[in-house]
Amino acid sequence: MKKNLFLLFVLLSAAVGVRAEKVTIAAKNIAIVLDVENGRQPQYLYFGTRLSAADEAALQLPQGGRMDAYPAYGLNTPAEAALAMRHADGNLSTALVATGVSRQGNVTTIHLEDPVYATQVDLKYKAYADVDMIEMWTEITNREKSAVTLTQFASAMLPIRRGNVWLSHLYGSWANEGRLAEEELLPGQKIIKNKDGVRNSHTDHAEVMFSLDGKGRENAGDVIGAALCYSGNYKLKVETDDTDYHYFFAGINEENSEYHLKRGETFRTPVLALTFSREGLSGASRNFHKWGRTYQLAHGNKPRKILLNSWEGVYFDINEAGMDQMMADIAGMGGELFVMDDGWFGEKYPRKNDHTSLGDWQVDRQKLPHGIEGLIADAGKHGISFGIWIEPEMTNRISELYEKHPDWIIKAPRRDAVQGRGGTQLVLDLSNPKVQDFAFGIVDGLMTRYPGIDYIKWDANMAVMNHGSQYLPMQDQSHLYIAYHEGFRKLCDRIRSKYPDLTIQACASGGGRANWGVLPWFDEFWVSDNTDALQRVYMQWGTSYFFPAIAMASHISAVPNHTVFRTTSLKYRIDVAMSGRLGMEIQPKNMTDAEKALCRQAITEYKQIRPVVQFGNIYRLQSPYDRQGVASLMYVDDARSKAVFYWWKTDNFANQHLPRIKMAGLQANRNYRVHELNRIDNKPLDFERKSFSGAYLMEHGLEIPYTHSVDHAERNEWSSRVLFLEAQ
Ligand code: GLA
């Protein structure tokens, strides 16, 4: 009560704009405290778990570091800055001091101004009462006589305490997305950045975690998590300098993107979402997932359908009979949705491969004589929903669209366009409102003609390779990347305001769009074009640091795998896919009856555990990156009465003993009955249907047999288990 009164006092005094000493931005269990004094740059006092009023009152400014809330370039030039600009008269120096604090709902604003120039900077903080997340962003307004140029414009800066701080982040490439990297922060700079222009998570990711007390542990230790919510080029920078603090800057990548801010215009930076957990890396992940499902992800509270996607099954070989057969097969296995991937469109230039037709979104009647309406009717007949693939931001040199609108593509002035996939792909210039209208029309046209479409797979298979907009004036060419993503935002907003219920997947040559900046419009993302189950254990492990299972599309595919040519067992493929948003990406026609039966069983069982997987809390238990021969994680529901435990063997050596895995997240004093899902063994596990206390499961764990007891002819090198735990 006292704490609340104190907070109220702080907030009330802030609201009336008087000189405020301490400004607290408090989410459910975490808080930022700033020292704000009019006429000075606000200072960070604290970031961590919420403090008592007494502790908060006693807070002192950390010594020996630079605690500026939003350092500007010019009057302490050796230090890194969050903001740098050229004023209208050419002056490169900026000073920012507080002029007041205001509050509206759960958003606190600290108003800053340059005492000499009419530059206003509002630092915005949005704190959620029911989740542990604080969103920060900045609004920069030019009130000078003419345009100013922004050359650095971070969303936020956070000084991170001295000591043995470790950084966890994701890296990778096409077919190898979401790899986890962990490193100690040492003096110097660590930069994580993206310059793709269109997609931003194939390689590095715009989310990081900082473990504050040595190398990160999954279920213990203090962890700060940060996610830059932006669809475009970003830069995250950690500078560890002679003060030994780690200064973390995050924002749009300013390289080749200086921004001319007109008089009266406001530049709003993307949100940096910040969390803090005392329960290790998994704890920070749970905070991201809960906040994400509640406030960011499209339909974050709606269970996802189990689908079959046609891509790896038939690639471009789309035809009516084939689609009908696939729909019948997935319906027969208990699936709920069929998605027709690439290859269904193009009249003058039918899409037979990736060389042609993007932009020509008319049905190829040769392949589909009864059109999309025919397919939707077929889906209805099989009792499932229908989805379709599009790639709205792109065209090919060989397309009717390009013939009509060569001026709509991105290319450097006076040079030929660089062509991408298929040797002919081109990126449309979304900074151009006409292109935005066209792209909106693709979705709108499909949805108007075929209101039965339930799901769209939205792909983006090319980077901005050449810098240049045919729409933007020559003096504003540096606006290209920002304007593209502003156009993308407008387009997505428009689509969502007209089609709020549509399910939309963000795909981008696989996992190029796994970012919280796009997920408010998208229901999920395709983790990777690589569906090999073993590699997926690694990729999905990393991806789960920041994204919940409900958003991670994870499909059972054929063997040998089409990317790595590895042959895993169907059981293993199922057990891995079942830890995300389960789907299939296979030609069911080529499956045996026994394989179909196993998938049918898995789909039935997934429906039972779907709420736990898709809405539960993740506890990562044994990392595949530790190379112990096994990886394991679990999801526990909010009531801690149901849990799903996954165990995947990652190596296969005779007489190699595997660590026994301790569970987490259960209630110590409750008993949980264990039931194996997707069972293939001839006999049940020793602990099948037996009950154990949460304490036992968390302190000792179950001894999982290393192999499957199946007939000799059925044996293979793969071993995995999925256990369903229910409190008694
Ligand atoms: C990209 C996607 C795939 C598939 C193909 C279609 O590579 O990541 O899933 O949709 O395009 O061309």
pLDDT tens-place string over residues 276-317: 999 999 999 999 999 999 999 999 999 999 999 999 999 999
**Are 279 and 287 in contact, with CB atoms under 8 Å apart?**
no
The best mutation among 312, 355, 356, 507 to test binding of ligand 1, ranked by most ligand atoms within 8 Å of the C-beta, falls on: 507
Atom of ligand 1 nearest to the CA of 389: 10
* CB-CB neighbours of 36 under 10 Å: 26
Would you tell me how many other CB atoms lie within 10 Å of the CB of residue 625? 15
For 177-205, how does the pLDDT look when each residue is reduced to its tens digit (9 = 90+)?
999 999 999 999 999 999 999 999 999 99
Task: Tell me the β-bridge partners of 31.
Answer: 26, 48
Beta-carbon count within 10 A of 78 CB? 6
Residue 19 has pLDDT above 90, yes or no: no
Is residue 473 pLDDT above 70, yes or no? yes
Q: Which of 174, 357, 459 best tests ligand 1's pocket when mutated (most atoms within 8 Å of CB)?
A: 459
Which of 177, 307, 316, 341 gets mutated to test ligand 1 (max ligand atoms within 8 A of its CB)?
341
Residues 102-149 pLDDT 10s: 999 999 999 999 999 999 999 999 999 999 999 999 999 999 999 999
Say how many Å lie between the CA of residue 424 and the centre of ligand 1: 16
- Ligand 1 atom with the smallest distance to the CA of 510 is 8
Confidence bin at 416 (pLDDT 50/70/90): very high
pLDDT, mean of residues 492-508: 98
Question: H/E/C letters for each residue in 355-421?
Answer: CECCCCCCECCCCCCCHHHHHHHHHHHHCCEEEEEECCCEEECECHHHHHCHHHECCCCCCCCCCCH
- DSSP state for residue 42 in the 8-state scheme: -
Q: Across the strands, what pairs with 388?
A: 340, 456
Q: Measured from the CA of 508, which atom of ligand 1 is nearest?
A: 8
Cβ of 161: how many Cβ atoms within 10 Å? 17
Q: What percent of the chain has pLDDT over 90?
A: 97
> 232 - beta bridge partners?
none
Paired strand residues for 581: 553
- Whole-number Å distance, alpha carbon 391 to ligand 1 midpoint, is 9
Residues with CB under 6 A from ligand 1: 311, 341-342, 354, 389, 459, 461, 507, 509-510, 526, 529
CA of 341 to the centre of ligand 1 (A): 8
**DSSP code at position 508:** B
Distance 229 CA to ligand 1 centre (A): 24
221 in Cβ contact with 280 (< 8 Å): yes
Residue 2: the pLDDT is 37
pLDDT at 1: 33
| CATH of 307-396+434-464+504-615 given 3.20.20.70, 3.40.50.1110, 1.10.150.120, 3.30.1280.10 | 3.20.20.70
Amino acid of residue 430 = L
Question: Of all protein residues, whose CA lies closest to atom 6 belonging to ligand 1?
Answer: 342
For residue 509, give the ligand 1 atom closest to its CA: 8
Lowest mean pLDDT among 1-15, 96-110, 136-150, 256-270: 1-15
204 DSSP 8-state letter: S
Mean pLDDT, rounded, for 701-721: 97
d(CA 149, ligand 1 centre) in Å:
39
pLDDT for position 478: 98
* Distance (Å, whole) CA 251 – CA 607: 40
Which H or E run contains 350? none
Residue keyed to tokens 């005094």: 13
> Which pLDDT does position 20 carry in this prediction?
52
From the CA of 294, how far away is ligand 1's center (Å)? Answer: 29
Distance 459 CA to ligand 1 centre (A): 7
pLDDT at 16: 42
Under CATH, which architecture does the 11-75+82-296 domain have?
Answer: Distorted Sandwich (2.70)
Indicate which residue's Cα is closest to atom 7 of ligand 1. 509
208 band by pLDDT with thresholds 50, 70 and 90? very high
Taking the CA of residue 529 as reference, the ligand 1 atom at the shortest distance is: 8
Tell me, in angstroms, the distance from the centre of ligand 1 to residue 531's CA.
12
Cα 300 to middle of ligand 1, angstroms: 24
Whether the pLDDT of residue 562 is over 70: the answer is yes
Q: Can you tell me which atom of ligand 1 is nearest the CA of 341?
A: 10
If one residue of 311, 356, 424 were mutated to test the ligand 1 pocket, choosing by the most ligand atoms within 8 A of its CB, it would be 311
Instruction: Name the residue of 307, 314, 317, 342 to mutate for ligand 1: max ligand atoms within 8 A of Cβ.
Output: 342
3-7, 201-205, 483-487, 579-583: least confident range? 3-7
Which superfamily is assigned to 620-727 in CATH? Golgi alpha-mannosidase II (2.60.40.1180)
Residue 18 has pLDDT above 90, yes or no: no
Ligand 1, atom 12: nearest CA belongs to which residue? 342
**Domain range annotation of the chain:** 11-75+82-296, 307-396+434-464+504-615, 620-727
- Looking at residue 21, its pLDDT comes to 85
Which residues on adjacent β-strands are paired with residue 395?
A: 426
CA 192 / ligand 1 centre spacing (Å): 26
- Six-digit token string for 122: 């509002």
Please give the pLDDT value at position 7: 36
343 C-alpha vs ligand 1 centroid, how far in Å? 10
Backbone angles phi, psi at 155, to 5 degrees: -70, -40
| Cα(509) to centroid(ligand 1), Å | 6
CA of 412 to the centre of ligand 1 (A): 27
Closest to 550 measured CA to CA, from 527, 534, 572, 532: 527
